[in-house]
């Protein structure tokens, strides 16, 4: 802790000389230890020498201000790189690390704060996608701070409200039910006490979820889902080289019923990349993990699928989530509820698409 404190003092000495007395510029080793123990303290080393650090705070940690106390916001502090090693990518690597840890902890946002007069630091955070949201005054410093946050994934939102059906966007990593879930978000932000979902999506899958406050509407929609009258369309990225289109008809074992049940999935290849392909998939039945199991059985595992996929296979700019998105649901009465591709998946496609990418006709 003495060595870590010395690194922090050295890293923040320039700011202190400009009159901004960051806590890290004068804190004691005991202060450093308390701050480190309240989160995850990460170190960067070169040849055994400590050259950088950052402390990550998960969304369940109280942060002392409204932004940090939001249930889906992670944050970080004690962020420093040895002055003589700045400009070599160490700070970026530490930032990448805390953003990845925040995603893994289920956060939708990563937040931080810095002195309002530290314009170069504000610009640095803004260059990484952080946006100033508020200001605060901390006890141990002599300046006001900007509070900044960056979205790590999309947050829930209303897609449509028609005929008693409320269509919601569910981000990846957020379950439909539970204490921190799509429905708890709706209760908090929409005031929809008693709202229930008509169907489910796996936690890792993003996309459209149909809900309703009316039990009669839910019952009717439930019958449509059960009878296969709802036309479901997904987008997914798979490893491998699929055919232009295909139909998978293979029974899948149902653990509850203790037997195999019929299952049919159709797919069409939208585009091919170097080692992956984007598919539009239409499951005609609704078995558990049907798309993932069927595609894995063809040797086309879904990117990011840790259960049925191949974690050893890597793709550039991996977005850190299951690459499966519920694009649309079409009801028997002609109503269609659709959801644009989650932005982290859309951004990933832009990386994978070379100028010579192969698009599949039709």
Mean pLDDT across the stretch 224-244? 96
Whether pLDDT at 356 is above 60: no
Mean pLDDT across the stretch 221-249? 96
pLDDT (tens digit, 9 = 90+) per residue, 33-60? 999 999 999 999 999 999 999 999 999 8
Confidence of residue 357 (pLDDT cuts 50, 70, 90): low
CB 91 within 8 Å of CB 54:
no
Whether pLDDT at 224 is above 60: yes
CB 280 within 8 Å of CB 235:
yes
Active-site residues, by number, are: 202
Pick among 3.20.20.70, 3.40.1010.20, 1.10.600.10, 3.40.630.30: CATH of 2-151: 3.40.630.30
Q: Which helix (H) or strand (E) holds 247?
A: strand 245-249
Whether pLDDT at 223 is above 80: yes
Confidence of residue 299 (pLDDT cuts 50, 70, 90): very high
Whether pLDDT at 80 is above 80: yes
How far apart (Å, rounded) are the C-alpha atoms in residues 19 and 12?
Answer: 11
How far apart (Å, rounded) are the C-alpha atoms in residues 42 and 64?
Answer: 22
Write down the pLDDT at residue 316: 87
Whether pLDDT at 74 is above 90: yes
pLDDT (tens digit, 9 = 90+) per residue, 125-184? 999 889 999 999 999 999 999 999 998 878 899 999 999 999 999 999 889 999 889 999
Write down the pLDDT at residue 9: 98
Provide CATH code, domain 157-359: 3.30.2350.10
Q: Where are the domains of the chain?
A: 2-151, 157-359
CB 192 within 8 Å of CB 186:
yes
How far apart (Å, rounded) are the C-alpha atoms in residues 83 and 103?
Answer: 29
CB 176 within 8 Å of CB 196:
no
Write down the pLDDT at residue 104: 83
Q: Pairing relation of β-strands 206-212 and 324-330?
A: parallel
Q: Which helix (H) or strand (E) holds 168?
A: strand 165-170
Write down the pLDDT at residue 362: 53
How far apart (Å, rounded) are the C-alpha atoms in residues 329 and 168?
Answer: 12
Place of tokens 């798309």: 291
Write down the pLDDT at residue 106: 80
Write down the pLDDT at residue 267: 98
Whether pLDDT at 68 is above 60: yes
> What pTM, to 2 d.p., does this model score?
0.69
Beta bridge partners of 280: 235, 268
pLDDT (tens digit, 9 = 90+) per residue, 267-285? 999 999 999 999 999 999 9
- Helix 29-37 × helix 2-17 angle, to 10°: 100
> Alpha helix (H) ranges present in 232-288?
none
Confidence of residue 355 (pLDDT cuts 50, 70, 90): low
């Amino acid at each position: 802790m003495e060595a870590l404190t010395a690194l922090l003092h050295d890293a923040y000495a320039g700011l202190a000389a400009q009159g901004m007395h960051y806590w890290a510029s004068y804190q004691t080793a005991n202060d450093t230890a308390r701050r480190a123990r309240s989160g995850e303290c990460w170190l960067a080393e070169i040849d055994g020498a400590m050259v950088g650090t950052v402390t990550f705070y998960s969304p369940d940690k109280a942060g002392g201000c409204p932004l940090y106390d939001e249930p889906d916001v992670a944050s970080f502090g004690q962020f420093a790189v040895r002055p003589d090693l700045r400009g070599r990518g160490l700070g970026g690597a530490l930032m990448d690390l805390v953003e990845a840890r925040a995603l893994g902890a289920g956060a939708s946002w990563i937040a931080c704060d810095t002195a309002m007069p530290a314009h170069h630091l504000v610009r640095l955070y803004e260059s990484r996608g952080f946006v100033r949201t508020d200001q605060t005054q901390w006890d141990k410093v002599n300046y006001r701070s900007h509070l900044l946050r960056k979205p790590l994934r999309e947050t829930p939102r209303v897609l449509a409200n028609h005929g008693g059906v409320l269509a919601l966007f569910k981000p990846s990593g957020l379950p439909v039910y539970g204490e921190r879930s799509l429905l708890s978000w709706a209760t908090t932000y929409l005031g929809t006490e008693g709202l229930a979902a008509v169907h489910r999506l796996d936690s890792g899958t993003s996309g459209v979820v149909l809900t309703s406050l009316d039990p009669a509407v839910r019952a009717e929609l439930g019958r449509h889902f059960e009878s296969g009258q709802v036309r479901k369309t997904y987008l997914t990225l798979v490893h491998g080289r699929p055919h232009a289109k295909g139909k998978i008809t293979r029974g899948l074992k149902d653990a509850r019923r203790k037997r195999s049940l019929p299952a049919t999935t159709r797919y069409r290849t939208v585009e091919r990349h170097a080692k992956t392909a984007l598919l539009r998939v239409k499951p005609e039945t609704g078995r558990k993990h049907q798309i993932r199991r069927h595609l894995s059985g063809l040797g086309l595992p879904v990117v990011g699928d840790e259960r049925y996929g191949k974690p050893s296979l890597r793709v550039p700019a991996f977005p850190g989530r299951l690459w499966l998105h519920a694009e649309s649901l079409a009801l028997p009465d002609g109503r269609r509820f659709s959801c644009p591709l989650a932005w982290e998946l859309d951004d990933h496609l832009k990386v994978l698409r070379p100028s010579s990418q192969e698009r599949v006709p039709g």
